[in-house]
Amino acid sequence: MAVTPMMAQYLEIKAAHPDALLFYRMGDFYEMFFDDAVNAAEALDIALTKRGKLNGEDIPMCGVPVHAAEGYLLSLIRKGFRVAVGEQLESPAEAKKRGSKSVVKRDVVRLVTPGTLTEDSLLEARRHNFLVAYSEVRDQAALAWADISTGAFHVMPLTAVRLSPELARLAPSELIVSEGASFETTRPLADEYRIPITPLGKASFDSSSAERRVCNLFNVSALDGFGTFSRAEISAMGALIDYLEITQKGKLPLLQPPVQEAEDRVVQIDAATRRNLELTRSLSGGRTGSLLAVVDRTVTPGGARLLEQRLSSPSRNMDVIQSRLAAVDFAVDQSPLSQRLTEALRKTPDLDRALSRLALDRGGPRDLAAIRNALTQAEIIANLCTPHELPQLTANAVSSLLGFDELLALLDTALIAEPPLLARDGGFIASGYEPELDEARTLRDEGRSVIAGFQQKYAEQTGITSLKIKHNNVLGYFIETTATHADKMMSPPLSETFIHRQTTANQVRFTTVELSEIETRILNAGNLALEIEKRLYTGLSEAILIQAAGLNQTARGLAELDLVSALADLAIAENWSRPKVDNSRTFDICGGRHPVVEHALRQQNGAPFVANDCDLSAETGAAVWLLTGPNMAGKSTFLRQNALIAVLAQMGSYVPAERAHIGLISQLFSRVGASDDLARGRSTFMVEMVETAAILNQADARALVILDEIGRGTATYDGLSIAWATLEHLHETNQSRALFATHYHELTQLATKLQGVENATVSVKEWEGEVIFLHEIKKGAADRSYGVQVAQLAGLPASVVARARDVLDMLENGATPKIQIDDLPLFAAVAPTQVKTATSASDTLLDTINPDELSPRDALEMLYKLKDLKTK
């Protein structure tokens, strides 16, 4: 069977986009065919049908409504698909002008991929959506990343070892690499982090053509004004821009000039550490339970995105840290002002993303209104701050809010309060703004009353009270009566005025010359009004985009003020203190607390969190606390809380402690807990060793290292040996500040041999055979791990607990590591579920007592008797 012209067009467009599902626009639906239809129907759980045949086989087909397409797009993107959106580029009427059988022109106007989303419904408002390009040029490497929904654009040189931590920091939605060797070497890392990876041709990464692309984007002749970039950095930026040209079909987003970052600008935190510390995501993968969820009190999407960015990238620049802390100081001191700012910020729309949609021509009247409302709130916020002497960071943010009087006046005058979503709906331009529009609207709106007058006039003229004037898309306006009045209407004298148009089963339809003339005027007025509004929409968008650079600065200023106010609110509400951060190697925390655990305790039962001190200060050399104590006593919490306090301090926040003095930290490493990585063929122990190796190979003297239970995944003496050697290497080679938790009590001997190692333990109390966890850290070493008691708390059967006590007693009473199995009676001597002991004289005496019958004197005498029995 021959292919129809429509199907031929579909196949041609699909051939140009073989790796994407093709949304082929047909009227009010996006249709999919062949394998695309099969895959989409399964992924979206929609009906799979068929349309025609090809080579004798049915053509599978499915479709989604255009008005609901965004929801389906989101589902497909989350399931790993890319979608090519093929739109109609002309109307059916325009196609017919070329011939009655001409197919409507269609082409792909956009490739939808995870890293190129802009619609609010497809994005998380409080998170960035980064598209990252990685480039290697000879012995250089670089990353470039952009969020086209906000215009953020960054680039940094990179050493190979930093690719993994930087990808973990940015958590991109999509990674672009050069096809070939670079793709093959990068793919395992992308798979590990579950980042969709897209290979591009090597021409996209050519640094010479890449430089031209960057210059053309920013309309400059050279990049010197933005910084001095390596060939690898230029290559990465150019490849990212090329990918945007491919996916956006030449309609490039409004990117800000590239911000060049350095590797030593932020604290290095690898993926394992981020996961262990649950900075922005909990171990379960969600936001709930993370540090970000607990500290986030921002009220704007921009402020929330900035908070996540700062928390993911604690600064190593002392001036930056101090300026941020000074801004929070001011907000804490001026708490009433901060509260008023928060209320004003709460009403501020997402300026960044509204601006980006307008630049990509995906916006609408509500985006115009969002920019108007944001500028209105910015003016209010600036006026609130004007009477105060502001710290530098806050002053810079406030100064970026002003200077848009003309634009704001234009938008205020032009727009109604609550515009519709789409420009094609019309009705968003305020009355009085454009006289020509007002005139067209008047004619359009009064036309309705004119039609009503015609209906009354014709009803009186004909004597038919049921006569109606109606409208449809085929006949336009027409006069309708029931069939019973047909003869009267088509006979003189009425037939001279009323022209017959159509007869149906129950009605007869007419028109008049007068009605046709007014219809033309009304229809033209409606279309004219809509065309005028579309033209005004384009003009308003252009007026906004001309000031895009300044508006981007305003968006950043609003986000900065939101974050500062939120951190101040957090500090006051949670009783946090300002940390002292300097260039020393001090690490002195007094009364430190774990913010997430403290929050959870308060939510669950209101129990207080037990605060603890930590001092890892050392002018030179290592400073290590060797922490021992039972499981469940709080060792891991203590380890994590000190790492989180360091992160918060260097991001520029107050911290959950009575006092904190932190010498600048360059790297943060945490190896806490482990699990199998079956997909990569790694056991728990192998994962543990890989993470430990990364720490020992990279940690420098300014690193903060958190290690928990090194060597526990293998045989006792193997594990002890590895833990011993690891501790020595940290002390002698890395010379880092570190917390090292272990159950190998033999390691406590190292405190007498290694100058920078101190023993610390978690306090416990035994009471009637049970262990009570005090959660207090003190100097010294634990003498035991209380593992049997913890097993009992966990609910192990009493027989197992009793048996474990027997084995433990024998081992602790001098049994050698090569203990003979016969020394421990096995299954023949299994302890009963209830252990019986001999009845003592005191127990016998107690059995004879009835407390209700004892006088006070009798009770006193009984106590003396019990005491005598106890001493015998």
Residue 146 in 3-state DSSP? Answer: strand
Q: Does the annotation place 466 within a ligand binding site?
A: no
Helix (H) or strand (E) holding 548: helix 548-574
Per-state percent for the chain, helix, strand, coil, to nearest 5:
50, 20, 30
Cβ distance 554 to 382 under 8 Å? no
3-state DSSP assignment of residue 666? coil
Burial letters for 504-537: b for 16+ Cβ neighbours within 10 Å, e otherwise?
eeebbbbbbeebeebbeebeebbebbbebbeebb
* Separate counts of helices (H) and strands (E) for the chain: 29, 27
Please enumerate in sequence order all residues whose Cβ is within 8 A of that of 809, keeping only pairs 6 or more positions apart, or say none: none
Amino acid at 727: L
Residue 554: C-alpha distances to residues 117, 355, 398, 547 (Å): 23, 12, 8, 11
Contacts of 139 (CB under 8 A, 6+ apart): none
315 appears as a binding residue in the annotation: no
- In sequence order, the β-bridge partners of residue 677 are 682
Q: What are phi and psi of 428, to 5 degrees?
A: -105, -15
CB neighbours of 343 closer than 8 A, spacing ≥ 6? none
Query: 668: buried, middle or exposed (CB in 10 Å: 19+, 13-18, 0-12)?
Result: buried
Instruction: Report d(CA 674, CA 679) in Å as an integer.
Output: 15
Is residue 613 within 8 A of residue 777, CB to CB? The reply is: yes
Closest CA to 119 of 167, 83, 170, 79: 83
Nearest Cα to Cα of residue 146 among 126, 169, 170:
170
Q: Can you read off the two tokens belonging to residue 505?
A: 């089963």
Q: What angle do CA 229, 234, 240 make, to 5 degrees?
A: 140
Q: Is 635 annotated as a binding residue?
A: yes
* Element housing 298 (H / E): none
Strand order from edge to edge, sheet including 587-592: 580-582, 659-663, 587-592, 612-615
Cα(733)–Cα(59) distance, integer angstroms? 68
Residue 115, annotated as binding a ligand: no
Determine the Cα–Cα distance for residues 633 and 214; give it in Å rounded to an integer: 56
Written as six digits, the tokens of 568 are 């101040």
Amino acid at site 376: T
**Non-local CB neighbours of 526 within 8 Å, separated by 6+ positions:** 440, 444
Q: Provide the sign of the torsion angle of the four alpha carbons 539, 543, 549, 555, taken in this order.
A: negative
Q: Which among 477, 478, 480 has a CA at the least distance from the CA of 523?
A: 477
Which residue's entry shows tokens 């290559």? 235
- The answer to whether 371 touches 555, Cβ cutoff 8 Å, is no
Is the preceding omega at residue 832 within 30 degrees of 0, hence cis?
A: no
User: Rg for the chain (alpha carbons), in Å?
Assistant: 37
In angstroms, the Cα distances linking 861 to 840, 841, 865 are 19, 16, 6
Q: List, in sequence order, the alpha helices (H) in 655-757.
A: 684-698, 716-729
Q: What whole-number distance in Å separates Cα of residue 156 and Cα of residue 165? A: 13
Is 32 flagged in the annotation as binding? no
**Residues with Cβ within 8 Å of residue 322, at least 6 apart in sequence:** 581
The one-character DSSP state at 114 is G
Q: 634: annotated binding-site residue?
A: yes
Cα distance between residue 357 and residue 351, in whole Å: 10
Q: Which two tokens stand for residue 280?
A: 């922005």
Q: Which residues are annotated as part of the binding site?
A: 629-636
Q: Which residues are annotated as part of the binding site for ATP?
A: 629-636
